[in-house]
Structure 1
Amino acid sequence: MLEKTALVNGRIYTMAGNLWEKGAILWQNGKILAVGPDVAIPSDAEVIDARGKTVLPGFIDAHTHIGILEEIYAFEGDDLNEMTEPVTPELRALDAVNPYDLAFQDALQGGVTTVMTGPGSANVIGGTSLVLKTYGRTMEEMVLVPQAGLKVAFGENPKRVYSELKKMPSTRMAIAALLRQTLMDGQDYLAKKAKAQKEEDVFERDLGMENVSLVLTKQMPLRAHAHRADDIMTAMRIAEEFGVEIVIEHGTEAHKIVEEIVKRQIPVVVGPSFSNRAKVELAEITWRTAAVLQKAGVLVALTTDHSVTPIQYLPLCAAFAVKHGMPEEEALKAITINPAKILKLDERIGSLEKGKDADLVVMSGDPLDWRTRVEAVYINGKNVYSDKTSMNVT
């Protein structure tokens, strides 16, 4: 059993309803034992003095391509899209992530301790995403959820890719039809599988349909790339038809149909709002989208969509959301506890509470001030990044 560690004298944002101007966090074996202004510190604990520092839970980005689309490799490190068939549910991003991608170092420097990463949006169905911590030597060390959602894409990207290949889909109608057909095939697959099991008969398994089955049985959601309001509505319509869970990712025009999203209680991962108008779907990109959704009661997270925006700038996304109308506490929730809830990991990460993972970020000042530095990062209680400031360990 590892010795206890205590971080003391810090300004602690728990993201669970408390802000301690001078508090402490005690952890052992990667889990938080206590947090608050009156934590009893054992005499044999390692003590970290965070006087004058701000402490938050590790930041979480709920939509990235980190480790899959490596920045400095034009072909060698690009495993983002299997652009040979429009429907590839059998693919797993788990098999594409390089834990030695330089972007993981950038993530730590920005205080990002957990990410969801997955396939791109070239295909109607691109494969499954995963959730992992941003520190480790192997995927086995880093992974939290090996299959965290089935990536589906609407709009311009699949249209452009497959119209150029003279293949379906070249229209939004075809995108929706391919997704519906795959979900219907999944329903048939489940029925045949259940019948074979009942009759103790041989059943021929299918890797893609196994992943689709996880969606149909609500073991993971559809993670829908959708920018335009009509594409968002199509995504939600199909999810309703098949009774499956869905997360809207990007949601550039989500502010136009906020009432529909609220009515269905669909979470939205907004961004990358640092992007320019690189395509027609982004014509109305604005930082205000996140604020409008949050004010209406939508569960909102902010994303860099790394590598569209470098992962280390996730805290700046929260700052810009505040600049455009989101309350400060809500902006911080959008990069901590909200993405944890969207990823269904809020019992482990996203806030500083007893029993949760000891993932925390120590910052030099206000987390929403662009001048503030990340001075130290802890994942599972281990110091995985330090900028060698004056924090004292005794």
Structure 2
Amino acid sequence: MYIIGGLIKTMAGEDIADGYLRTEDGKITEIGRRDEMAFHPAPHERVIEVREGLIMPGIIEAHCHMGITEEKKGMEGDDCNETVNPLTPYLRAVDAVNTMDAAFDDAVRAGITSAMIGPGSANVVGGQFAFLKTRGRRVDDLIVRAPAAMKVAFGENPKVNYSGQGKSPSTRMAIAAMLREELFRAQAYGRNKKKALAAGEDFEEDFALECWLPVLEREIPLKAHVHRVDDIFTAVRIAKEFHLKMTLDHCSEGHLIAEELAAEGFPAIVGPDLASRSKIEVQNMAFKTVGILNRAGVMTAVTTDHPVSLIQALPLCAGLAVKSGLDLEEGYRSITIHPAVICGVADRVGSLEVGKDADIAIFTGNPMEVFTETLYTIIDGQVVYEAGND
């Protein structure tokens, strides 16, 4: 397929005015200026003329519960939290994602081509996130990376859930202690496994601990639900104690400690700012947080936390962050290359480069502006949405 004309925002360097792209077998094979193009379409190869439109990488949602907390389904469609055990690292998002959830179609219509999806924050350890494409019936076919992160939560949510059940954790101290104990056990398990395998001995794997090894080996990050300053610093403290990678998800009071967080080096996934301040821990939530963190040197992505805010509002949330001080180009990065890097999938998505997945969104203009329309959404080189073909 050829895509010809328009402004190409590659998110990998300079924009290309009046450019072109070619895709083949789901990958980008050519990209450049139209006047440098050797036009040689194969028989029946599709050619899309963009003219005045904007071509950019497919938008990425870095943190949501799409397909796990289904719309309009009530308890029957809510598989977000296993609220009877505060430590459930062995749960896998891919076992609960319903790709028939209407949110997937909404995402595609908004130019969102991939998303990080996983359990909620009712538990100290919620389970394993997966990074998925947003179009397809069978979840196994949508996987880019799974597991992609291990969800942990600090603050109000675990406290509220378990103090009501009359068991730990009912304090922030207990949340931190239970996570430390879990990590301590997982470290011991990992050492024992390595020792046994090195000695050629049999080793009985533990399903509840085996899932921690990619975290301890820094292959995937902790995905830490944190809003308040104190919870953010507790998460940082524990990640440093165990030498772990981590993302700071929500980070609602991050703007109050931006310089300190920049020095620590953990990225932030900020939002959902397009939502009410429904809890005490989000009383300082604001769209300005993204820009303040970004200017301080923290890599930032914007999130809707769907369904807290609707998935299709993701580019508009980035726009509201720009309105509140985030640099415009960083606004584009906050929904493309930054979430790709943060989620560990930048080798495949997040920018338009030869060899990467042909995940492309084409708009009438800047998608962060409310009147902009999606013209085409392309995933793995296939047009999955085309304006006027509803």
Report TM bin, short chain: over 0.9
Residue 129 (structure 1) aligned with residue 129 (structure 2): yes
Give the aligned residue type for 1:369: E
Match of 1:40 in 2: 38
Conserved 8 A contact 2:56-2:361: yes
Q: d(CA) in 2 for partners of 1:188 and 1:94?
A: 28
Match of 1:154 in 2: 154
Q: How does 1:22-33 map to 2 (within 5 A)?
A: 22-33=18-29
Tell me, in whole angstroms, the C-alpha distance in 1 between the residues paired with 2:362 and 2:198. 55
Q: Who is 2:189 aligned against?
A: 189
Indicate the residue corresponding to 2:352 in structure 1. 352
Kept in 1: contact 2:148–2:344 (CA 8 A)? no
Residues in 2 aligned to 1:90 and 1:140: alpha-carbon distance in whole angstroms:
18
SS at match of 1:25: strand
Scaled by the length of structure 2, what TM-score is found? 0.97
Matches within 5 A, 1:52-201: 52-201=52-201
Q: For 2:173 and 2:344, locate their aligned partners in 1 and report how far apart those are by CA, in whole Å.
A: 32
Shift in Å, 1:366: 2.5
Tell me the TM-score normalised to structure 1 length. 0.96
For the residue of structure 2 that corresponds to 1:72, the secondary structure is coil
1:330, 1:220 → 2: CA distance?
25
Name the stretch that deviates more: 5-14 or 194-203.
194-203
**Inter-partner Cα distance in structure 2 for 1:56 and 1:280:** 38
The equivalences for 1:1-394 within 5 A come to: 5-37=1-33, 38-44=36-42, 45-388=45-388
Deviation at 1:88, TM superposition (A): 0.7
Q: Quick one: distance in 1 between partners of 2:21 and 2:77?
A: 39
AA paired with 2:47?
V
Shift of 1:73: 0.7
Tell me how large the CA RMSD over aligned residues is: 1.1
Deviations 1:200-254 (A, max 9, x none): 3332221121111221111211000000011000001000001111110000001
Contact 2:317-2:368 at 8 Å conserved across structures: no
Deviation string, structure 1 residues 37-61 (Cα, Å, up to 9, x no partner): 1232214342111112111110001
- Whole-angstrom CA distance in 2 between matches of 1:286 and 1:10: 34
Q: Give CA deviations for 1:175-208 in whole Å, capped at 9, x if unaligned.
A: 0000000000001111221232233333222112
Please tell me the residue identity of whatever aligns with 2:38. Answer: A
Q: Distance in 1 between matches of 2:360 and 2:368?
A: 16
Q: Once the 2 structures are TM-superposed, how far is the Cα of residue 345 of structure 1 from its aligned partner?
A: 1.2
Q: Give me the whole-angstrom Cα distance separating, in 2, the residues matched to 1:368 and 1:101.
A: 24
Equivalent residue of 1:243, what SS? coil
Letter in 1 for 2:40: P
2:291 aligned partner, one-letter code? A
CA-to-partner distance for each residue in 1:85-144, whole Å, 9 max, x for gaps? 101111111111111111100000111001000000000000110000001120121010
Aligned equivalents of 1:301, 1:256: Cα separation in 2 = 17
**Is residue 362–residue 375 contact of structure 1 (8 Å, CA) maintained in 2?**
yes
- Residues 137-159 of structure 1, C-alpha deviation per residue, up to 9 Å, x if partnerless? 20121010110111000000000
After the TM superposition, which parts of structure 1 deviate over 4 Å for at least 4 consecutive aligned residues? none
Q: Structure 1: how far apart are the matches of 2:191 and 2:48? A: 57
Q: Distance in 2 between matches of 1:54 and 1:87?
A: 45
Secondary structure of 2:18's counterpart equals strand
Task: Indicate the SS of the match to 1:52.
Answer: strand
Maintained 8 Å contact 2:252/2:270:
yes
1:367 is displaced (CA, Å) by 2.3
In the alignment, what sits opposite 1:392? none
Look up the equivalent residue of 1:17 and give its one-letter code: G
Distance 2:358 2:272 in 1: 28
**What is the distance in 2 between the residues matched to 1:290 and 1:340?**
17
Contact map agreement 2:145 2:345 (CA 8 A) in 1: no
User: Is this contact kept in 2: 1:63–1:116, CA < 8 A?
Assistant: yes
> Given that residues 159 and 170 in structure 2 are in contact (C-alpha distance below 8 angstroms), is that contact kept between their aligned partners in structure 1?
yes
Q: 1:254 to 1:21 in 2, by over 3 A?
A: same
Confirm or deny: 8 A CA contact 1:25 1:39 kept in the other structure.
no
Q: Identity, % of aligned pairs?
A: 45
C-alpha distance in 1, partners of 2:269/2:139? 24
Residue ranges of structure 2 left out of the alignment (5+ in a row) = none
Asked whether the 8 Å contact 2:322–2:331 carries over to 1, the reply is yes
User: In 1, distance between residues paired with 2:278 and 2:146?
Assistant: 32
TM-fit CA distance, 1:368? 2.4
Contact 1:248 1:266 in 2 (8 A): yes
Residues paired across the two proteins, number: 385
- Could you tell me how far 1:165 is from its partner in structure 2? 0.2
Answer yes or no: is the 8 Å Cα contact 1:294–1:326 preserved in 2.
yes
